[in-house]
Chains A and B, each alone.
Chain A
Amino acid sequence: MSAPAVDVRALVHAYADGTPALRGVDLRIDAGEAVAIVGANGAGKSTLLKHLNGLLLAGSGSVYIDGIALTRASLADVRRRVGYVFQDADDQLFMPTVQDDVAFGPMNLGLAADEAQARVAAALQAVGAAHLALRAPYRLSGGEKRAVAIAGVLAMAPSILVLDEPSTGLDPAGRRRLIELLGRLPQTRIVATHDLGLVLQSCPRALVLHEGRVVADGTPARLFADAELLRRCQLEPPYEGLKPGPGPSAN
């Protein structure tokens, strides 16, 4: 039996000032799954995601990616496997043109220029942003920036894609395109958000994080029908007319 894509065991994290962010998170995600991590602000979603890519290292507990224990020694390997899309795309886009920015990851993987450019073209094509290749990132709309940020991560060909609040700042059309894109991607997808509508339409499984602990795990439809759970975790149920989407492709 193959190792799970993500295996988090008793993960604890406290910030430098002593504020606890994660208080013993256990989590297992299989390859190809699309999983949402929902929770109010300060629930620990971003902190948990940063542990999956090694941006934060466990104070106590452990994180395994594709069976590899995340340590300083395995950081490069883990970052090759886990692509992280930041909440604010402006933090991620820093090169002078879109194509240079998308090439940043592949170049760091040590790929030859030709292969890196092929990856750039394929990633931009995948997110529908091929026409933006020569544009300066600061001239893009919010939705375009998000798409390019995702392309920058896809170009590294990760097996796991981690997205932090991907629908923030998107207009309805941009949000729709994001949901469609999430549905098309073959990678294991982990989406941290408090946009429960997005979860309902793009993830067959959701985890509710509250005060640094996973307090519920199940299908979005079941979790979001639990009014007491949502109230306790300071979440709002999605619009009642919203139906679960066809769901992303599960591999």
Chain B
Amino acid sequence: MSRLAAALQDLRALDALALRDTALARRDPRAKLAVTLCFIVTVLSFGRYQVAALLPLALFPTVLSAQAQVPGRVLRRTLWLASPFALMVGLANPWFDRTPMLALGGLELSAGWVSFGSIVLRVTLTVSATVVLLGSTGMHALCVGLSHLGVPRVFTAQLLFLQRYLHVLAEEALRMSTAHRLRAAPGRRLALSVYASLMGQLLLRAFDRADRVHQAMLARGFDGELRVADRWRWTGADTRFVGLWCGYFALVRAVDLPLALGRLITGAGA
């Protein structure tokens, strides 16, 4: 499968996941949004050299991905896509911050490496939580939730259109790539001039397609405001879901659980 086909499959995989009837999919999108937002704020609130204290937070994406039945492949691919960002942000740290900080066995770790590890862990946690949120909710329901939480409709409509046009662009790119591959000399790389021509064609074709989609929307009464059906009702289970997870985040933030557990096991500090 080409990389384009894989990308399109991933785009659709998250949508397809959200359509399944799982325990997490039944939660109100507002509840999932609130909890995920709270999780991200908690992750970001830790100090740059705190790594072990962050580890208990991994429980959240782990439990939710199991509840939402998000395949590990989808999580791994998304993390792989996000990894250049984490590397770009954190890789300079070991270079500039060489103060010795930790000794693991005979290996001495500088503060830069610790902060780099912290950045990688934070990106892993937040990206995983976001993927689980999308995979258990879907962009459509997510935008409904955002609207209910007070986010302007113009913003949520843009998000939905962005997602739709990503699909349009990927589908057109896939068609063109297949057509090119079928007639290209095997093993030869794409010439720059051909690549430029393909990009231009892709833009024009995606634009035409987007125009037809827009016409189809106009024909069904679209007037600039995206009205979507809201099937969710806030229930007691949603309140418990938010309360339990936010309580857990507060606990992790207030108490260094790995340290406390270490002390409990070793008896240190007693």
Contact = CB atoms under 8 A, between A and B. Distances in A.
B230 A108 contact: no
Contacts of B220: 79, 83-84, 104-105, 108, 152-153, 156
Contacts of A116: 229
B5 to A, nearest CB: 13
| Binding site secondary structure of chain B | helix
A113 B18 contact: no
Interface in B131-145: 138-140
A51 to B, nearest CB: 12
- Interface residues of B toward A: which range? 20 to 34
Contact of B140 (A100, A139, A156): A100
A86 B217 CA distance: 11
Interface in B207-241: 209, 212-213, 215-223, 227-231
Contacts of B138: 96
B12 interface: yes
Ranked nearest first, the 7 interchain pairs of A and B with the lowest CB-CB distance are A108-B221, A105-B220, A107-B227, A84-B219, A91-B212, A92-B216, A96-B140
Interface string A50-94: 100101000000000000000000001001100110101001101
B16 interface: yes
A112 to B, nearest CB: 10
Contact of B15 (A80, A84, A96): A96
A140 interface: no
A103 interface: yes
A118 B71 CA distance: 35
Given A79-B221, A91-B209, A95-B140, A86 B15 contact: no
Given A92-B216, A117-B229, A136 B12 contact: yes
A140 to B, nearest CB: 13
B18 A156 contact: no
A105 B229 contact: no
Given A113-B229, A136-B16, A94 B217 contact: yes
Interface residues of A, number: 35
A83 B139 CA distance: 28
A92 B16 CA distance: 19
Contacts of B167: 138
A59 B209 CA distance: 24
B229 A103 contact: yes
Contact of A105 (B16, B19, B212, B221): B221
Given A76-B223, A108-B221, A108-B223, A94 B19 contact: no
A153 B217 CA distance: 11
B181 interface: no
Nearest to A88: B212
A96 B144 CA distance: 13
Contacts of A79: 218-221
B229 A96 contact: no
Nearest to B212: A91
A109 interface: yes
B221 A109 contact: yes
A227 interface: no
A216 interface: no
Contacts of A139: 16
B164 interface: yes
Given A136-B19, A153-B220, 6 more contacts: A55-B219, A79-B220, A79-B221, A94-B164, A96-B18, A96-B140
Contacts of B213: 91-92, 94
Interface string B14-56: 0110110000000000000000000000000000000000000
A152 B221 CA distance: 11
B19 A108 contact: no
A79 to B, nearest CB: 5
B228 A100 contact: yes
A97 interface: yes
Contacts of A113: 229-231
A27 interface: no
A156 B231 CA distance: 20
A3 interface: no
